[in-house]
Structure 1
Amino acid sequence: MGYFVTVEPGVNLYVEDLNPGGNKTIVFLHGWPLSHKQFEYQFDVLPAMGYRCIGIDWRGFGNSDKPISGYTLNRLADDIRTVVGTLQLENFTLVGHSTGGAIAIRYMSRYNGYGVSQLVLVDAAAPTGFTAETANNFLKEALNDRPKMMQDVTDGFFFQYVTRPFSDWFFQMGLQAAGWSTAAVIVLLRDENLNEDLPKIVAPTLIIHGIHDKVIPFSQAQELNQKIRNSKLVPFQYSGHGPFWEERGKFNQLLAQYIH
């Protein structure tokens, strides 16, 4: 089922809530500039295994409202906290991919991991996001030829071969975002870092990262593993930035084993 949660006056976030009666709850935070739909190949499988799966589109992306402002890690984490409170979620697993991983880390530090029993970081954009050079290139394209930028994102995302129809689907998902929110999150990824947040994470943490990732280098996953207490790093040998699709069988199995 899909519905909207109001996170501030005039700003509603879209929530996809599958198998609400499931035994264990998993909350998914997508990457930039995508939406909850990136987790289609988890939603195909995990709810049928008994998990409640909740996908949240951040403000500015997917089916959510697209205000002009609010694109900081603090505000995006605040939005997640409002959804968690509204849905009365507790003892859930928080899964964040790429920038969604950065938002998840800020949520953990800002709210002392409220409600979260386990954290899963997937190719997380942490402790830093984009280099200044990468960010400025993306920013220029976002403000002048956003479809070209999204094609570049798509082309560099996966290590595995993707078909043209899959590439088109992924491309269109990115264009669902607003131009201004797409650009604002590029600036966030350039200017914010999470080094001070990492020691504050107390929940058991699973770190999944594709060793061929061209977006967020594997070395950053190793750094997270060193700086987050009670964390475990699982390299994905045949993935780039998208192990949730590139090695989806292994990914889904690992999640199911981890969540207990």
Structure 2
Amino acid sequence: MQFGRACFATPPSSAEMELFLACAAVTPSGVREALVGRPAEYAQTLQTIRVPTLVIHGEQDRVLLPATGEYTAQMVEHAKLLVYEGIGHTPFWEASDRFNADVTAFIESAT
């Protein structure tokens, strides 16, 4: 529950939170453990990306600070960064219409 609450700037309904946590629960435990505290240096890997890249980050993300999105966009040549004000770690959930429109527009512009 603590993780679920941290993911949202605006808490979802109880039913939506239950669904969100159920979806999160199907992530294998090994994957979740590998994500905790990832101490790896990503600059070199990010700098090798040569495909159109869209970085979307919630301005109120408490799971991965917005600086993470900014860093990613700076390291990937020609990346586009969109920061969603008032949104947490789950822009695909909290701002699904905007997220879908932004991803669709990005894909269409990149093809």
TM-score range normalised by the length of the shorter chain: 0.7 to 0.9
Amino acid at match of 2:89: H
The answer to whether 1:242 aligns with 2:90 is: yes
- Paired residues of 2:55 and 2:82 also in contact (CA < 8 A): yes
The answer to whether 1:159 aligns with 2:9 is: yes
TM-superposed CA distance for 1:161, in Å, is: 2.4
Q: Residues 205 and 176 from structure 1, CA distance in 2 versus in 1: closer, same or farther, beyond 3 angstroms?
A: closer
Q: Residues 191 and 246 from structure 1, CA distance in 2 versus in 1: closer, same or farther, beyond 3 angstroms?
A: same
Q: Residues 247 and 202 from structure 1, CA distance in 2 versus in 1: closer, same or farther, beyond 3 angstroms?
A: same
- Paired residues of 1:199 and 1:227 also in contact (CA < 8 A): yes
Equivalent in the alignment of 2:34: 185
Amino acid at match of 1:170: F
Measure, in 2, the Cα distance between the counterparts of 1:211 and 1:233: 12
1:1-260 equivalence runs, <5 A:
151-179=1-29, 181-182=30-31, 184-186=33-35, 189-260=37-108
- Paired residues of 1:207 and 1:234 also in contact (CA < 8 A): yes
- Paired residues of 2:5 and 2:11 also in contact (CA < 8 A): no
Measure, in 1, the Cα distance between the counterparts of 2:89 and 2:63: 6
- Paired residues of 1:238 and 1:246 also in contact (CA < 8 A): no
RMSD value, Cα: 1.7
The structure showing larger relative contact order (alpha-carbon pairs under 8 Å, at least 6 residues apart) is: 2
Question: Which structure: greater strand fraction?
Answer: 1
- Give the fraction of aligned pairs with identical amino acids, expressed as a percent: 24
Amino acid at match of 1:166: E
Residue 212 of structure 1 aligns to a residue in which SS? coil
Measure, in 2, the Cα distance between the counterparts of 1:221 and 1:178: 25
Measure, in 2, the Cα distance between the counterparts of 1:156 and 1:206: 23
* Bigger Rg, structure 1 or 2: 1
The one-character-per-residue Cα deviations of 1:69-94 (angstroms, maximum 9, x if unpaired) are: xxxxxxxxxxxxxxxxxxxxxxxxxx
> Structure 1: 5+ residue runs without aligned partners?
1-150
Amino acid at match of 2:7: F
- Paired residues of 1:211 and 1:238 also in contact (CA < 8 A): yes
Question: Which structure: greater helix fraction?
Answer: 2
The one-character-per-residue Cα deviations of 1:49-103 (angstroms, maximum 9, x if unpaired) are: xxxxxxxxxxxxxxxxxxxxxxxxxxxxxxxxxxxxxxxxxxxxxxxxxxxxxxx
Pairs aligned (count): 108
Measure, in 1, the Cα distance between the counterparts of 2:32 and 2:66: 25
The one-character-per-residue Cα deviations of 1:22-43 (angstroms, maximum 9, x if unpaired) are: xxxxxxxxxxxxxxxxxxxxxx
